[in-house]
Amino acid sequence: MGSFKEFVTGKRIVIVGPAATLKGSGYGSLIDSHDIVVRLNHAWPLPKEFAEDIGTRIDVIYHNLNPLNQRILPKHVAQMKKDGVKWIVSSHPANRLKYRRRHRRFRRANKGRLRFRAIPAWLKRRLKRKVGFPNSGVVAIADLLRFPIESLYVTGFSFYTTGYLKYPNYKRITKRMALRNHNQSRHKTYLAQLLKRESRLRVDPFIEAILNEHMARRQSRKKRKR
């Protein structure tokens, strides 16, 4: 297998978030029809009972590699490979000691079985200027659009307006905790503006509705201030 750029070039890619909005959606076949299926953080292993809604494939994981949430052991890596995972992408660059430690910990468990890379530090800095501390979903979108992919479809994001589907490794998180870590208003604005200028990017109807509502409110506030 070559570089990550070679892996994604010319491909139709889908990013599947963990939001409960996918429950009952029937999107599974649509998700699996893409050339590459990307998932986030603790999505592995997939909950088989939701296969009709979230699909069955997992080719790439953009992962924060936080051992407090999910400690990845050699046996986990071996099973990931059996389940079709090809790449792990760290959503944190190697520019801080705590992230380098996470990378080293994963490499020890990985033993070269899965391909591994980290996002570049300049991308994280750019995103922080746009959205504050970026979540893994926005990191994945921004990173993948740097490459000559054919298209990118995003589904399963709710901006913490809903909970998560019942994934084995996703812990429950309160909306208050989530919003403390990630500014969802800035995330919505960034994604809405990106959709306008990036023809390769599309989102599911739930995300589109949230973004449209957010931008309408934003425009309304601007008018009132004039």
Mean of pLDDT values over 202-226:
88
Mean pLDDT of the chain: 93
Query: Which sequence spans correspond to the domains of the chain?
Result: 4-225
Q: Does residue 70 carry a pLDDT above 90?
A: no
Q: Does residue 187 carry a pLDDT above 80?
A: yes
Mean of pLDDT values over 23-46:
97
The pLDDT value given to residue 173: 63
CB 53 within 8 A of CB 27: yes
Q: Does residue 180 carry a pLDDT above 90?
A: no
Dump pLDDT digits (tens) for 81-135: 999 999 999 999 999 999 999 999 999 999 999 999 999 999 999 999 999 999 9
The pLDDT value given to residue 2: 83
CA distance 173 to 201: 28
Q: How would CATH label the architecture of 4-225?
A: Alpha-Beta Complex (3.90)
Dump pLDDT digits (tens) for 122-170: 999 999 999 999 999 999 999 999 999 999 999 999 998 988 999 998 8
Q: Does residue 37 carry a pLDDT above 80?
A: yes
The pLDDT value given to residue 220: 79
Cβ-based neighbours of 76, under 8 Å, separated by 6 or more: 44, 109
pTM: 0.94
The pLDDT value given to residue 163: 87
The pLDDT value given to residue 174: 56
- Model confidence band, residue 71 (pLDDT cutoffs 50, 70, 90): confident
The pLDDT value given to residue 172: 67
CA distance 36 to 115: 15
